[in-house]
Amino acid sequence: MIDFTPQSIALQIGPIPVYWYGICYALGLMLAYLVIRHGVRARGLDENLFANGMIIVAIAALIGGRAYHVIDQWALYKDDLSRIILPPYSGLGVYGGIFGGMIAVIVYVRIKHQSFWAWADVIAPGLFAMEFVARWGNFFNQELYGPPTTAPWGIAIECSHRVAAYLCPPLGSTPASAHFQPLFLYESISGLVGMTALLWLTNRYATRLRTGEIALVFFIWYAIVRFLLEFLRVDNWTFFGIPTAQVISTAVIAVAAILVVERHRRVPPGLSAPSGPDPAGEPASADDPDGSIPAEAGAPGR
C-alpha cells in the first residue's frame, strides 16, 4: 500500500505559499489547451477565437467548480466564508466546472456566430485531459478518497484530513494506519482513457460521426463514471438521501442519449462543419441553423 502522505504546499516564495493543487490545475489547463488547439487546427476553426475564449471559459469553469464544491462541503465554510475565496483551496466540483464552462461557451459562440456543437467536439477531449492531470491536486490535499481498503493501491490519509466517517481513535474507530480507495486516481485514469478514446474516435470515424457526438460521448462517459464512484463516497452532497452527483449524472446520461438519437435522425454524418458565418458575414443558413452540416455537403470548410 501507499504510505506516503504529501504536503499541500509545493514551495514558498517569500510570504506566498504555492500549493500543489494550483500547480496541478495549471498543468491540467495547459494540457487541455494543447489538446483543444490540436482539434481546432485539425477542423479549421478560428484559433484567435479559441485563444480569447479559453480565458473566459477557464474563469467561468473555475467559478462554477468552486461554487459546486462549496455547496457540496458547506459545513466546512459556513462558519468562515472567507475560506471560499482565500487559499488554501480544498477542491473544485467537476460538474460545477463543466456547467459553468458550458454556459460561457454557449454565450461566447453565440456572440461570435459560431457552431456550439463544432466547438464542443474539440473541447471534449480537452476536458478529459484536464481531469487526468488536475485530479492529482486532490491527492496533495488528501481529499476525494473512498472507504478503507486492503488493495495494494490504497492510500494513507492523515488523521487531520479524515472525514467524519473515518476519524481516528479516540473520536472514531478507523485506525490511523488505515488505507483508503483513491477516488481521485480512478477519475484521473478515466480522464486519460477518455481523452485517448475521444481522439481516436475523432480520427477513425470522422466521416461517420455527427457534429456534436464526440461531446455527447464525453458527457455520457463522465456521468457513468461519476455515478459509480459516488457509491464509494460518504461525505457527498445529497438530495433527499441520494447523492446529488448521481441525480445530475442520471439526468446528463438521459439528455445526452436523447440528443445522440435526435442528431442521428436529423443531422448528416461528418465532423468537418463550418465554424461560423461565411466570408460575407452572413450567419448559418436556415437549413443548418447550428452550423452542423459538413463542409462536403455545403460551403467549403474554413
pLDDT in tens, 241-250: 899 999 999 9
Peptide bond into 87 cis (omega under 30): no
Whether 30 and 23 have beta carbons less than 8 Å apart is answered as no
pLDDT mean over 68-75? 82
Residue 300's pLDDT is 35
Which cell is 18 given?
A: 504555492
Residues 47-63: b if buried by 16+ CB within 10 A, e if exposed: eebbeebbeebbebbbb
pTM assigned to the model:
0.84
State how far the Cα of 142 lies from the Cα of 181, in Å rounded to an integer: 12
pLDDT > 60? residue 30: yes
Whether 65 and 228 have beta carbons less than 8 Å apart is answered as no
Dump pLDDT digits (tens) for 81-120.
877 887 666 677 888 999 999 999 999 999 999 999 999 9
pLDDT mean over 67-93? 78
Q: What is the 3-state secondary structure (H, E, C) of 225-284?
A: HHHHHHHHCCCCCEECCEEHHHHHHHHHHHHHHHHHHHHHHHCCCCCCCCCCCCCCCCCC
The strand ranges marked E within the chain are 9-13, 16-19, 155-156, 179-180, 238-239, 242-243
pLDDT mean over 156-174? 93
Dump pLDDT digits (tens) for 253-291.
999 999 998 887 877 776 544 444 433 333 444 344 444
Dump pLDDT digits (tens) for 225-239.
999 999 999 878 888
Mean residue pLDDT across the chain? 86
pLDDT mean over 59-74? 87
Whether 39 and 125 have beta carbons less than 8 Å apart is answered as yes
